[in-house]
Structure 1
Amino acid sequence: MSRQPSAPARSEPGRPSTVRSLARLRPYVAPALPRIVLGMVAALLAAVVALVIPAVLQLLVDGPLSSGDTAQVWPAFAVVLVLGVVEAGMIAARRRLVLTPSTHVEATMRNALYAKLQDLPVAFHDRWQSGQLLSRSVSDLSLIRRWLAFGVVLLVVNLLTIVVGFVVLFFYSWVLALIFVVASIPVFVVSLAFENRYSVVARRSQDQVGDLATSVEESVHGIRVLKAFGRGKHSLREFAKRADDLRGTEIEKAKAISQLWLWLLLVPDVAFALCLLGGIWLAADGQLTVGQLFAFFATATVLRWPVESIGFLLSMTFDTRTAVDRFFEVMDSVNTVTDPEHPETIAEPLGRLEFEGAHFRYQDSPAQFDDLVNGVDLVVEPGETMALVGLTGSGKTTLLALVPRLYDVTGGRVLLDGVDVRHLTRAELRRHIGMAFEDATLFSASVRENVLLGRPDLVDDLVESERVLREALDIAQAQFVDELPEGVDTRVGEEGLSLSGGQRQRLALARAIAARPAVLVLDDPLSALDVDTEARVEAGLRRVLASTTSLIVAHRPSTVTLADRVALLENGVVTAVGTHSDLLATNEHYRYVISSLDDGDVPSREEVLA
């Protein structure tokens, strides 16, 4: 099965700029934008207040301290104290304004991503690693939230503070300010060059985080297999290799950031030294008062933090740009299984199921490969039970998946009561179709919630929900749930792995039965059951199937006996349809397939056909 590649992103001419990428957040950020802007205003006011304090200190140095009038010191002290309190208040206001709305943006984006993942077809999930999707929905969105609450606010405010601060520096001394500005130019040059290098490494790092999450998830889900085959150390080596690759990428990121920090720390120090030398000369020459020199350096000190912060704020911004790109990779994915613009409806479904020249092949299948379903023509009448039999790879499971539109046909049609299933909304179609898979998947919820998953209409009807639940459990021979610690309210654990394979299959079968569908689609739902339990389940199923149209993939001869008719699949084509006894008498390939389904030794094709 192919997977979505996680190769490192590369700078390409057509790649959107950082600003354009981040601008795609606008629909999600719009409700929070007023408070974020107010947070920026509060932060900017705090910065302006900080720049005013050196002006007060200038007046203090050139006035009371120069004249020896100590009585004027206390008013200046009071002004500085008030300005300091105002600055602290503005910083606190900035935090209060931006923290809550940024969490709302994160929640909105996470809900949108989850809804998109639920809406995208099975083919999408076949291609993508679950760890990649997990890292996008957790770490990437968390990074975007932190950038909205902290990064973008301080980046904008600090840039404006630098501009305002440079203007103030020119007010004190244009010569010293010019020296300071010219000495700071390398910082901006290095910052621009930093983007190209860092963006590529940041993308590779976040993709590798997704790969690492996939490794953990696969190891946890497959822990029984790893322990059974003694491959824990092998899995650890594979994990350690991926972790080491991520470590190397993180070191490369750290080196890029450290080179930027070198300039961010060195340049201001050099600028301070040059300005100090020039300031002393100007003050000695009488072109600059001591108070002005003091205020100049106090202002330059205030500007030091905004200048130094540019480094990590830029790296945070580029990380966020990558996170946004990764988020929209999923959100931009095209859903090929969609609802029709003008849907039809089936008021009272009878359950007549028909395949008309149905074809299916995966989009990325090589051209020389045949379709998995290659022109199937088959009709299942209302109330009829049809078994699908065939050798492995003949297309049985794929054919079943076309009924509820887990995949869409690539040719021909599938009809329910004469209506093309693509002309129904997916919600209505799946209300009429119930499905149970061989690989039974349960959710980390109670037995009751798992079985009644397809009956949201019974949430508020406790009496009817209990009756439907009990009936489905009885038919599926799942009375074992009463022996669980809390009965039907027992949580079955992640994917139901706390239960045996047969128990999971019976609960999955009960879930399909409880949905009361017009068409029941079963993909070998009894494969994990023992013979006695299977016989009891089959007896219960006969009661259900008597009034329900059913399409069953059969991997056991006993399952075939449930069916009114049998369809034989060979290389994606239905080659024969009839009763079990008729096909046994007339079709050699059918006899071979049925013989291969026996629990005993499987004879060769030549032995069966002899």
Structure 2
Amino acid sequence: MQIRDLPYADPGEPDVRSGSRFLLWLGRRQLGGQLSCLLWGLLLHLGIAGLPLGVGIAVQAVVDRDGGRLGLGIGLLVAFGLAIAAGDTMVHRVAVTNWITAAARVQQLLSRKTAELGAMLTRRVAAGEVVAVSTGDVEKIGWFVEAVSRFASAALALVLVCVGLVLYQPDLGLVVALAVPVLALAALPLLPRATRRADEQREKAGRATELASDTVAGLRVLRGIGGEELFLGRYRAASQEVRRAAVRSARMWALIAAIQVLLPGLLLVGVVVYGAVLALDGRVTVGQLVTVYGAVALTHHPLRTFEEIAMAYSFSRPSATRAARVLALSRTATTPSGPLPAAVAPQAAPGSDLYDPVTGVLAPAGRLTAVVCGDPDAAGRLADRLGGHPAEGGGEGHASVLLGGVPLDELPLDAARRAVLVQDKDPVLLSGTLAELLDVPSSGRVTAAEALEAARCGDVLDALAQVSVDSDGDPMRTRITERGRSLSGGQRQRLALARSLVTDPEVLVLDEPTSAVDSHTEARVAAGVKRLRAGRTTVVLASSPLLLDLADRVVLVDGGTAVAVGTHRDLLAREPRYRAVVTRETDGDPGAFGPLGDGLAKEPSKRLDEELRAGLREELQDELEGESA
């Protein structure tokens, strides 16, 4: 695999049972690159180890005044120098390729998993951890994968050097052969402590990253309540903990590096002393002593790879564990092997009812169904399930939503997403022009203009036209800043609604789609959505009377179960628990409506002004009659 061939057509199915298994799987996926790096690395290390042989032959030739052997020594030096040049160049080239291709494979796997899980990813994994995995962890994983082959070539070269020295000069070679394994494994007892300190550093760094991510995301709120200094103080404290942990980890790795320098130096001194004794006794020649001395001196280079592989594994294993944890997430919990292939998966018939067996909520095909929950968190969980994401925690919470009697999480992912679209209460607008924002996969039946009109985005278009850099003031070509920060909350919410309407899915689930707009705009938006979604299945999770009054049917969910179904006015008249949620009234009896009423009784009464409601209803009715005409 070459860098120019990236991205992979298929990054494969990773082994995510553990971090170590994930690293092993990555290594197996690029055996060709690993083998190439091993061979080039072996050429490099043997070329380095061969230099002393040429030097020894040349020195002995000078002592013996042998011109032929001097030429041989010089020739060997030239050959080994060329081998070193070629090996070093290719090792670097292949190692970088292995690093980048391994990192790219992990990034593709993470991107695929992110696309599969969607908004559910950050609800199952902290946003800071997602950032850490997709940035720093990817590089550490790639580092270990490429370092393995270089370590293997260095270890094999050391074995060959020791064997060669024993055959070349048994007295000195045997000393080196016995000492080199000790040098290579000398730092092994320190590795567990170094690994623990490195893990501690990464854990603290991950917490600091999460804190920073949360602080940036909530900066506007923090400024509103004057909490910037409080959170900045917390981040300063967290960053200081990271610094202290990093210093402790660096001290241990510095000790390991010192051992890797000290022990080879002691071996070198020992070889020189022992070799000098042997030379004085006439048991070794000067050339042999120079050769062995040079070979021992140059073993420092391959020995350093033992330290590097230990450090690479120490840093990459937790990173691989985090990556494996993210990649192990699944949108389904029904079968051990995941969703069925598209060729054999069941297919839901178009225009099918949507049914949640956990709560009993039914959304009939082609109708606007409103769902009222006293608990906003319960409404969010219901929206997730309606989008095909079973609840966490096992038990009945894992029961899949049924679309036309077919479990939604058994459908192929593409088919499920074409069938059901969920817009949560905090939709994100990506940076780009308005035309790019609305250029999403769709059925083609709803134009951008129709969606913008239904979501009542006229004031948004006017605002974008005023700041447009085009001479014609085209709002569709005006850039929207990241997350739509240049727009108000209501404008962002309506643009996100327009984007969902353009998609025109078979089933559209909206969680509090008008919570950031005023009552007048809310009534107009509700009318636009009802008109544009006529004949399509729409589910709205809300408690606004203006939305509920337009719904074909309203479902009240209390205690995680659908307890009442009817129209808005019907439920207002006969269901006290429904009135408690919609009007925030408890008729003076906090316990009259069960757990739902108990929680709502703690809030001040927010009785709606009857005249305002009546006026809005009349205006909305006039608008609907005008649109139908």
TM > 0.5: yes
**Do 1:352 and 1:381's aligned partners in 2 also have CA atoms closer than 8 Å?**
yes
With the length of structure 1 as denominator, give the TM-score of the two structures.
0.82
**Within 2, Cα distance between the matches of 1:96 and 1:603?**
71
Cα distance, 1:111 vs structure 2: 0.5
Q: 1:274 aligns with which of 262, 270, 275?
A: 270
Change (3 A) 1:285 1:212: same
SS of residue paired to 2:365: coil
**Do 1:384 and 1:546's aligned partners in 2 also have CA atoms closer than 8 Å?**
yes
Query: Deviation per CA, 1:472-497, whole angstroms, max 9, x where unpaired?
Result: 11111123235252622444333323
In the TM superposition, 1:12-27 aligns within 5 A as 22=20, 24-27=22-25
**Do 1:437 and 1:508's aligned partners in 2 also have CA atoms closer than 8 Å?**
no
Change (3 A) 1:453 1:597: farther
**Within 1, Cα distance between the matches of 2:581 and 2:303?**
76
- Give the AA of the match of 1:275: V
Residue in 2 that maps onto 1:232 = 228
**Within 1, Cα distance between the matches of 2:286 and 2:264?**
21
Show structure 1 runs of 5+ residues with no match: 1-19, 360-372, 459-463, 606-610
**Within 1, Cα distance between the matches of 2:432 and 2:557?**
37
Change (3 A) 1:274 1:535: same
Residue in 1 that maps onto 2:39 = 41
Q: 2:451 aligns with which of 460, 472, 477?
A: 472
Cα distance, 1:296 vs structure 2: 1.4
**Do 1:444 and 1:495's aligned partners in 2 also have CA atoms closer than 8 Å?**
yes
Cα distance, 1:512 vs structure 2: 2.0
Residue in 2 that maps onto 1:253 = 249
Show structure 2 runs of 5+ residues with no match: 1-17, 470-474, 587-602, 608-629
Q: 1:399 aligns with which of 379, 382, 404?
A: 382
Between the two proteins, what is the percent identity of the paired residues?
Answer: 26
- Give the AA of the match of 2:63: S
Residue in 2 that maps onto 1:339 = 339
Residue in 1 that maps onto 2:351 = 350
Residue in 1 that maps onto 2:620 = none
Change (3 A) 1:154 1:522: closer
> Given the alignment of the two structures, is residue 433 of structure 1 paired with residue 420 of structure 2, yes or no?
yes
Q: 1:197 aligns with which of 193, 217, 240?
A: 193
- Give the AA of the match of 1:344: P
**Within 2, Cα distance between the matches of 1:71 and 1:189?**
42
Change (3 A) 1:280 1:555: same
**Within 2, Cα distance between the matches of 1:390 and 1:48?**
73
Residue in 1 that maps onto 2:169 = 173
> Given the alignment of the two structures, is residue 89 of structure 1 paired with residue 76 of structure 2, yes or no?
no
Cα distance, 1:500 vs structure 2: 1.3
**Do 2:143 and 2:312's aligned partners in 1 also have CA atoms closer than 8 Å?**
no
**Do 1:121 and 1:336's aligned partners in 2 also have CA atoms closer than 8 Å?**
no
Change (3 A) 1:225 1:67: same
Change (3 A) 1:179 1:244: same
Q: 1:416 aligns with which of 383, 400, 403?
A: 403
- Give the AA of the match of 1:440: P
Q: 1:453 aligns with which of 430, 437, 440?
A: 440
Change (3 A) 1:99 1:420: closer
- Give the AA of the match of 2:126: Q
**Within 2, Cα distance between the matches of 1:251 and 1:108?**
32
SS of residue paired to 1:179: helix
Q: 1:98 aligns with which of 92, 95, 100?
A: 95
- Give the AA of the match of 2:509: V
**Within 1, Cα distance between the matches of 2:410 and 2:330?**
19
**Within 2, Cα distance between the matches of 1:123 and 1:436?**
12
Change (3 A) 1:251 1:380: closer
Q: Which moved more, 1:216-225 or 1:165-174?
A: 165-174
Residue in 2 that maps onto 1:12 = none
Q: 2:289 aligns with which of 293, 297, 316?
A: 293
Change (3 A) 1:383 1:167: closer
Q: Which moved more, 1:417-426 or 1:428-437?
A: 417-426
Q: 1:546 aligns with which of 534, 537, 559?
A: 534
**Within 1, Cα distance between the matches of 2:71 and 2:438?**
77
Change (3 A) 1:324 1:399: closer
Change (3 A) 1:445 1:179: same
Residue in 2 that maps onto 1:316 = 312
Residue in 1 that maps onto 2:623 = none
Cα distance, 1:60 vs structure 2: 1.8
Change (3 A) 1:449 1:287: same
**Do 2:340 and 2:410's aligned partners in 1 also have CA atoms closer than 8 Å?**
yes
With the length of structure 2 as denominator, give the TM-score of the two structures.
0.80
Residue in 1 that maps onto 2:615 = none
**Do 2:429 and 2:437's aligned partners in 1 also have CA atoms closer than 8 Å?**
yes
Residue in 2 that maps onto 1:138 = 135
Query: Deviation per CA, 1:159-191, whole angstroms, max 9, x where unpaired?
Result: 122222222332343333333445555434433
Q: 1:164 aligns with which of 153, 157, 160?
A: 160
Query: Deviation per CA, 1:41-89, whole angstroms, max 9, x where unpaired?
Result: 12211222223222222222222x2244679756643542343133112
**Within 1, Cα distance between the matches of 2:181 and 2:425?**
66
**Do 2:122 and 2:130's aligned partners in 1 also have CA atoms closer than 8 Å?**
no
Query: Deviation per CA, 1:559-580, whole angstroms, max 9, x where unpaired?
Result: 2221233223322233322223
SS of residue paired to 2:543: coil
- Residue-pair matches, total: 556
**Do 2:340 and 2:412's aligned partners in 1 also have CA atoms closer than 8 Å?**
yes
Change (3 A) 1:310 1:339: closer
**Within 2, Cα distance between the matches of 1:552 and 1:148?**
49
Change (3 A) 1:218 1:23: closer
**Within 1, Cα distance between the matches of 2:408 and 2:453?**
32
Cα distance, 1:508 vs structure 2: 1.5
Cα distance, 1:144 vs structure 2: 2.3
Cα distance, 1:107 vs structure 2: 0.8
**Do 2:332 and 2:339's aligned partners in 1 also have CA atoms closer than 8 Å?**
no
**Within 2, Cα distance between the matches of 1:261 and 1:413?**
55
- Give the AA of the match of 2:110: L
**Within 2, Cα distance between the matches of 1:333 and 1:533?**
40
Q: 1:529 aligns with which of 517, 541, 555?
A: 517
- Give the AA of the match of 1:441: V
**Within 2, Cα distance between the matches of 1:260 and 1:510?**
60
**Do 2:383 and 2:424's aligned partners in 1 also have CA atoms closer than 8 Å?**
no
Change (3 A) 1:323 1:188: same
**Within 2, Cα distance between the matches of 1:112 and 1:249?**
31
**Do 1:521 and 1:550's aligned partners in 2 also have CA atoms closer than 8 Å?**
yes
- Give the AA of the match of 1:145: G
**Within 2, Cα distance between the matches of 1:166 and 1:211?**
47
Cα distance, 1:393 vs structure 2: 5.0
Cα distance, 1:422 vs structure 2: 4.5
